[in-house]
Amino acid sequence: MVDGSFVTIKAAPNDIDLIAVLLPGHDFERDMPISEYALVSRSMLRRRFGFDVVVVERGSHLYNTYLEFFSRVRDNPDMKKGLLRLKL
């Protein structure tokens, strides 16, 4: 899911926030080839593309927490905003 000023009407957006949602049962402890690790590493993604990413398992408590957090409108806590969902 994509959030940040990139998905607003700002003339010069300056940030992108991503929630990378993995399938339930994903083994977060297993060793990954560098090609997979590069897709979920916060520091590598930040350094390479300049955006923030959090990795969560679909339907988990952490997923729901980030979804609720990124749905907030910063200056209007009573309003919720949509997020852009990309299914790959």
Q: Is residue 85 part of a domain?
A: no
Burial of 76 (0-12, 13-18, 19+ CB in 10 A): exposed
Q: Is residue 86 part of a domain?
A: no
**Number of domains forming the structure of the chain:** 1
Q: Is residue 87 part of a domain?
A: no
Q: Is residue 57 part of a domain?
A: yes
pTM over the 0.85 mark:
no
Q: Is residue 7 part of a domain?
A: yes
pLDDT (tens digit, 0 to 9) for every residue of the chain, 88 residues total? 666 666 667 777 677 778 888 888 877 778 888 888 877 788 888 888 877 888 889 999 999 998 888 888 878 878 887 777 878 7
